[in-house]
Amino acid sequence: MSHAELIWSQDHLPRDVDAELMRLALRYEAAGGAGIELLGLLGSHAEGLFEKLPEQVRMHIEGATDQSLRQAMKVAQSSRSVVGDRVGWLNTAVAGALGAAGGFGGTPTALAELPVTTMILLREIQSEAARLGFDPASENVQFDCVQVFGAAGPLARDDGADMAFVGARMALTSGSMQALVGKVVPKLSVILGKKLAVQAVPVFGAVAGAAVNYAYITYYREISHVHFGLRKLAIDSGTDHNTLVADLKNRVEYIKSR
């Protein structure tokens, strides 16, 4: 898409909406930065990360992910009454420490760390929702928080798959949360499987563990900001959500082409 085509496609938007969409597009594009740096650090070790896990681990990781996410949904929400929402630095620090501990012992400790890290990631997503004025105690917002886990993850090499979740506006109905979890878990198990594989990389050990958790929490913080930022912009401006999603995609394509 040319620059002229991009400008033409946004003519119908008010200036403040246009500016906010560009800001969100830049946040989206920057989301995978820490993951790209991590892949550069790992070099050849980064290829086929999930496939490098022991077969026994790969066989059980989807079930472990499902259990971890369901536990995280309970614990992350209850923890908000103990620790406030505006503590992103604390989530980052704890995630880094957990990653280091998980990486220190290789695959076994990394697997044991999975439920806690999943909870911290979900807690960070909830915090970002709260920063943008949404109530994480609301069932609709909890639904959206889980939906954010449908993004591709920081080690996806920017294949565009994480944009798919932005356009999906799923209605919360009876049983839909369970259906969403069932849809998210297979993809999330691969995403977290890559994390486990990185933490099991020889030599890097605890350093890789801390780096990968930093990459993950940074990624989900940025992606959740875009996700809830679009929701807020649609509400505040009265603009159709699907229109904003389409315009955001145009901007991301333009930024990538520069």
pLDDT in tens, 69-88: 988 888 876 665 545 555 45
Average pLDDT (45-71) is 81
- Please check whether residue 199 is in contact with residue 106, taking contact to mean a CB–CB distance below 8 angstroms: yes
Q: What is the pLDDT of residue 99?
A: 45
User: Tens digit of pLDDT for each residue in 124-176?
Assistant: 899 999 999 999 889 889 989 998 888 878 877 555 555 655 545 566 666 78
SS3 53: coil
Q: What is the pLDDT of residue 129?
A: 93
- pLDDT at residue 94 is higher than 60: no
CB-count exposure of residue 249 (10 Å: 0-12, 13-18, 19+): middle
Higher-confidence position of 159 and 102: 159
Q: What is the pLDDT of residue 252?
A: 87
Q: What is the percentage of the chain residues whose pLDDT exceeds 70?
A: 69
Q: What is the pLDDT of residue 149?
A: 87
Cα 15 to Cα 21, 101, 143, 254: the distances in Å are 10, 48, 31, 18
Higher-confidence position of 22 and 44: 22
- pLDDT at residue 228 is higher than 90: yes
Neighbours of 253 (CB within 10 A): 15
- pLDDT at residue 104 is higher than 50: no
Rg of the chain (C-alpha set): 18
Mean pLDDT over the full length of the chain: 76
- pLDDT at residue 95 is higher than 80: no
Cα 172 from Cα 149, distance rounded (Å): 16
Neighbours of 121 (CB within 10 A): 28
47, amino acid identity: E
The DSSP call for residue 45 is G
Cα 235 to Cα 128, 149, 230: the distances in Å are 17, 23, 9
Average pLDDT (95-116) is 58
